[in-house]
Amino acid sequence: MRSLFYCLLALQILSACYEDKGNYSYTDPDTIQVGGIDSVYICNLSETLDIDPRLQDGNYDYMWMCFDKNNLRRKIDTLSTERHLSYKMNLQLSSYQLIFACRNKQTEVTKYFYSSLVVQSVFSRGWYVMKESDDHTELDLFTSNKNVENILTNTIGKPLEGKPRYLGFTKYTWLDTESGKLINQNKCFTILTSADLSVVRVSDMKRLAGFKDLFFETIPKCNPSLWYSGAEENGFVNNGEVFAYTERNGELGLSKFSYPKEGSHSVSNIFTKNATMAPLLFDTEIGKFCTSFKTPDRVIVLKDTENSDYKNDFHGYEPLYFGFLDEGMWEGGKIYAVLRKESDGGRIIVYIDGKNLVDFYPEFLTNGIKKIVTLDPSMKINSATCFAQNRKFEMMYFSVKDKLYCYDLSNSLEYEIKRENGQAAIPAGEQIEVMKHVVFDYQDYQDPNIKENVDCLAVLTSSGGSYKLYLFETMANKLKNDPIIYTGKGIPKQIFYMSPYLSDVFVCY
């Protein structure tokens, strides 16, 4: 009878959990009184989740269960059949619905209590810096209460071979050879270097796969330059060729890459996209904007139509930066492409409508160029060494050595960005290497107590063999005083903000 109760209980919860938004009883809510259960729990891997509910006197059956909110299959895991939950956490990093069920054996009344459970690790939240160290690739992590340097050396025993090129994000299915089980939905970094491509699990920094493990048969020469994910298709550029797979064929690890897409001539390592749009790419051999879509087996040149304001023809130009102003997950956005003319070094900014890369718009995969601005040779942006798009306004940050500037994309004006007090954003003598405006806005609609909001301009500078990471709060055309500052050793190459709530849906390149 007891096993039948558990079976029926799981089925009932599984069918009801799609609509559940709080604690309630399916029968008489006043019959069973329970206390000592919080609405939110956060637990690190390998630590013990300890919950000791209080019930009035009675004879009960108990069950603790959970399901992954980010897994559409909604598989329910049973954690315990005891009243007092003492569970050594070994679930994957994610957000879970935690369920406590208790049944009065005499009255057969069952009551359910729902909490949100966040499973994380010491690596699951904070600011990652990918850096070069002695011609190898390493990661540092900075949080409000802990800094972890040289993570790869400390976890897998050594840094990755080759100089750093790109730090991406994906999910990966891994075969645990000890247990013989497939473990899916592993949140992973994809770390691209000049010598390899490594899939590294965020929870414990275990290297799950290398470049050669990602292909079915023919393995090309390893020369990866960028990685993208989301919108069902995931892929990367290797030797100027595009390799892609679709999640309809299974998660990476089960699904693998095969042959490069036709039409891959010399795709550059400059691109942009949000989670639901096809990537904006640029083929330097033919001088045209292009993309990769989940259905065709070739790279698609964005075609000119009778409604195109400008031709998609930029032969003799090379891309320097693509900035993306996100206007909503399903809306695409505004894209600003900075191109440099190879013959004389002159620069232009191409304004592109990003909805042409979202597949339910009628203009899909057409040339969405709306404006081209030729930059005055006297402007400082012609000497810019790195860029960052403001994710909320038509402002593009750029730097020249230790100076931080902004280009007003609406009015074609440039000016120096300073702090509120008029002080320079970056101290003199520090070379600005990398910038990124990070906006991460998460809320669990099943539990309003769980939310996370990050909105800051992250700036990496270098001086000698050390670097600094500045985290600025932004305001109009200035930065707030007193940024958070972290320091590390090595040559910084990329910034990545990681959260236990991060998924492909939130990644914006």
Q: What is the per-residue DSSP string for 218-264? A: PPPP--EEEEE--SSEEEEEETTEEEEEEGGG-SBTTB-B-SPPBT-
CA angle (485 as vertex; 159, 130 as ends), nearest 5: 20
CA angle (396 as vertex; 394, 402 as ends), nearest 5: 150
> Residues, the chain, total?
509
What span, in angstroms and rounded, lies between the C-alpha atoms of 351 and 407?
A: 13
Domain ranges of the chain: 34-120
pLDDT band at 250 (very low <50, low <70, confident <90, very high): confident
What span, in angstroms and rounded, lies between the C-alpha atoms of 208 and 211?
A: 11
What span, in angstroms and rounded, lies between the C-alpha atoms of 369 and 266?
A: 21
**pLDDT (0 to 100) of residue 4:** 41
CA angle (503 as vertex; 18, 197 as ends), nearest 5: 145
Q: Is the pLDDT of residue 210 over 80?
A: yes
Please answer whether residues 324 and 394 qualify as being in contact, where contact means their C-beta atoms are separated by less than 8 angstroms: no
What span, in angstroms and rounded, lies between the C-alpha atoms of 397 and 437?
A: 9
| CA nearest neighbour of 149 among 119, 126, 166, 171 | 126
Return the minimum-mean-pLDDT range out of 169-183, 280-294, 340-354, 414-428.
Answer: 169-183
Mark out the alpha helices in 50-158 (DSSP H runs).
151-156
- The rounded mean pLDDT for the chain is 90
**pLDDT (0 to 100) of residue 509:** 84
pLDDT band at 231 (very low <50, low <70, confident <90, very high): low
Q: What's the rounded mean pLDDT across residues 310-320?
A: 97
pLDDT band at 477 (very low <50, low <70, confident <90, very high): confident
Return the minimum-mean-pLDDT range out of 183-192, 226-235, 457-466.
Answer: 226-235
* Sequence-separated contacts (24+) of 327-335 with Cβ below 8 Å: 327/354, 329/274, 329/275, 329/276, 329/505, 330/276, 330/358, 330/360, 331/355, 331/358, 332/274, 332/276, 332/277, 332/356, 332/357, 332/358, 332/361, 333/274, 334/394, 335/272, 335/280, 335/368
| CA nearest neighbour of 124 among 509, 507, 501 | 501
Q: What's the rounded mean pLDDT across residues 131-155?
A: 95
**pLDDT (0 to 100) of residue 5:** 45
Return the minimum-mean-pLDDT range out of 8-17, 41-50, 60-69, 292-301.
Answer: 8-17
The CA–CA distances, whole Å, from 298 to 137, 319, 321, 503 equal 32, 21, 24, 27
Q: What's the rounded mean pLDDT across residues 278-290?
A: 96
| CA nearest neighbour of 209 among 246, 171, 238 | 171
**HSE-up of residue 271 (Cα within 13 Å, Cβ side):** 29
- Residue written as token pair 């669990």: 444
List pLDDT tens digits, range 2-55. 444 444 455 455 444 434 444 434 444 446 788 999 989 999 888 999 999 998
**pLDDT (0 to 100) of residue 9:** 54
pLDDT band at 350 (very low <50, low <70, confident <90, very high): very high
Both tokens of 363, joined, read 């203009």
Burial zone of 498 (CB within 10 Å; 0-12 exposed, 13-18 middle, 19+ buried): buried
What span, in angstroms and rounded, lies between the C-alpha atoms of 53 and 112?
A: 12
Report the Cα 216 to chain-centroid distance in Å.
26
Q: Is the pLDDT of residue 156 over 70?
A: yes
Query: In terms of DSSP bridges, do strands 110-120 and 40-44 run parallel, antiparallel, or are they unpaired?
Result: parallel
The CA–CA distances, whole Å, from 250 to 68, 73, 218, 409, 465 equal 18, 13, 20, 41, 43
**pLDDT (0 to 100) of residue 72:** 66
Query: What pTM does this model have?
Result: 0.85
What span, in angstroms and rounded, lies between the C-alpha atoms of 353 and 263?
A: 23
Please answer whether residues 220 and 237 qualify as being in contact, where contact means their C-beta atoms are separated by less than 8 angstroms: no
Please answer whether residues 287 and 314 qualify as being in contact, where contact means their C-beta atoms are separated by less than 8 angstroms: yes
The CA–CA distances, whole Å, from 370 to 159, 178, 311, 337 equal 45, 56, 10, 12
What span, in angstroms and rounded, lies between the C-alpha atoms of 372 and 16?
A: 53
The kind and range of the H/E element at 188 are strand 181-193
**pLDDT (0 to 100) of residue 451:** 87
Q: What's the rounded mean pLDDT across residues 477-496?
A: 96
Q: Is the pLDDT of residue 285 over 70?
A: yes
Q: Is the pLDDT of residue 61 over 80?
A: yes
CA angle (467 as vertex; 466, 472 as ends), nearest 5: 160
Query: In terms of DSSP bridges, do strands 333-341 and 347-353 run parallel, antiparallel, or are they unpaired?
Result: antiparallel
What span, in angstroms and rounded, lies between the C-alpha atoms of 287 and 20?
A: 52
Contacts with 16 (C-beta within 8 Å, 6 or more apart), sequence order? none
**pLDDT (0 to 100) of residue 3:** 47
What span, in angstroms and rounded, lies between the C-alpha atoms of 488 and 466?
A: 6
Please answer whether residues 134 and 48 qualify as being in contact, where contact means their C-beta atoms are separated by less than 8 angstroms: no
**pLDDT (0 to 100) of residue 31:** 65
| CA nearest neighbour of 325 among 404, 388, 414 | 388
Q: What is the fold of 34-120?
A: Immunoglobulin-like (2.60.40)
